Structure 1
């Protein structure tokens, strides 16, 4: 059974430790937090582990998950390296979405195999996360010598591991942010415009939610260019101009930015004259 230490048992750390323990393939060693009560509470949720609040008490383990906040990862790695708490040949990894394995460089210099494993998942509540985690994509990057162990771990958690290209971590995280955060922003924009049309909030929620879900399904199935519909791809400059007249200044700026990007996506389906007409309306 593979041993794993958890440094930083917040929502993500607790979830991954719980799933690792539940898989029957991993033994949770230390669960280290800033305070002993926090570590004890985490062990209670995980159902295993020795609660600790000092690095010096860290036992040996084959895997070490550093699940502290992103801004603390490099500091924790430096402290671990200074105390030589991890053995050469073992694997250390963090779960930051944007940070690369290079944050663990002091440990790598001591022969520890360092990588990152980022589950594309929202860890709002560990109790819910452990139920819903199955099928989550887990991005791996860093030292190739760590990949076999982390691919096995991700699969044991119920995840689906995949490798990122070297240097691709920030672009990966940007893609997730666009797909998740900006989708919410688009929903907010659409809801505000719907309200200005006098549509009741509950009706708008159903109306927009149904359309957004079906459109996303089309885009995933057909590809963005083929799934695109609406006035821009039809070259309907008059309708685009009419839309702009009912928007606030702030919403109009966002509408035009999105319209310009949509026009680029629609370029292969419009002739030059139609493209120019829509572009002119969006610039005006």
Structure 2
């Protein structure tokens, strides 16, 4: 492949991308991390590249990957732009919450910029690398950068999804709703069952079919058609009694219940319009 890659930061995401790109014939040129030891571990995992311990050691490359924490993206980009000739190259970061506009130092140095966010957990890099095919990657940035990155991402098995850079934070919040806050709502259900005297293991058994069937219906039919329950039926008297009872049991959970009523009513309205 004519495109060479430098990795700046090589945590789980950087290591996985590096290994997959190297396996598809892309040249991983250098890996820069905070220490030579961690860079060597990354090179060993990737199976390619050489260790760099300072930005001054980096050589020019076609693509520079900033696989660093969100709070390090701007300073890392600034250090890269100061140390390496970037004119005509591509710089991208892997944050799900920040847009490519955080790479202004690289853009001012003549680089094209982008962000590439693989939408999955990287807790086990080896397992992710082995099962990466089909992973969705949200991308945005300069057209020229995406023209190079999109074929490379597809080569490693990614499904590329263009996103609106101005809505990047809302895009990332979508994952929080679909994952983190879903767990919070299910926790409320389990605690409410326990408040009714049901042991926690049994509560999980009671909640599981409701939760799994509801999620399956959402992904099969869409959110509005999947909605059921008192709000969908227009039984607001039951909703009011439940909200009062939950608030009396646990004020914080009652506030959560109350906060969910208006958006659920809007969802029920959408269901009625279909």
TM-score range, shorter chain: over 0.9
Structure 2 residue runs without a partner (length 5+): none
* Structure 1: 4+ residue segments shifted above 6 A: none
1:108 aligns with 2:107: yes
How is 1:104-183 mapped onto 2 (pairs within 5 angstroms)? 104-183=103-182
1:47 aligns with 2:31: no
Are 1:191 and 1:208, in contact at CA under 8 Å, matched by a contact in 2? yes
TM superposition shift of 1:200: 2.6
Report the CA distance shift for 1:208/1:142 in structure 2 as closer, same or farther (over 3 A): same
- 1:17-39 deviation per Cα after TM superposition (whole angstroms, max 9, x unaligned): 1111122x211111110000010
Three-state SS of the structure 2 residue aligned to 1:168 is: helix
What is the TM-score of this pair, normalised by structure 2? 0.92
Three-state SS of the structure 2 residue aligned to 1:167 is: helix
Three-state SS of the structure 1 residue aligned to 2:166 is: coil
TM superposition shift of 1:74: 0.5
Query: What is the number of equivalent residue pairs in this alignment?
Result: 269
**Counterparts of 1:268 and 1:110, CA distance in 2:** 49
Structure 1 counterpart of 2:14:
13
Structure 2 counterpart of 1:27:
27
Structure 1 counterpart of 2:258:
256
Structure 1 residue runs without a partner (length 5+): 272-284
**Counterparts of 1:120 and 1:261, CA distance in 2:** 26
Report the CA distance shift for 1:154/1:206 in structure 2 as closer, same or farther (over 3 A): farther
Deviates most, 209-218 or 181-190: 209-218
TM superposition shift of 1:207: 2.9
**Counterparts of 2:190 and 2:114, CA distance in 1:** 41
Structure 2 counterpart of 1:72:
72
Deviates most, 149-158 or 260-269: 260-269
How is 1:227-242 mapped onto 2 (pairs within 5 angstroms)? 227-242=226-241
Report the CA distance shift for 1:37/1:263 in structure 2 as closer, same or farther (over 3 A): same
Structure 2 counterpart of 1:211:
210
RMSD value, Cα: 1.8
Three-state SS of the structure 2 residue aligned to 1:121 is: coil
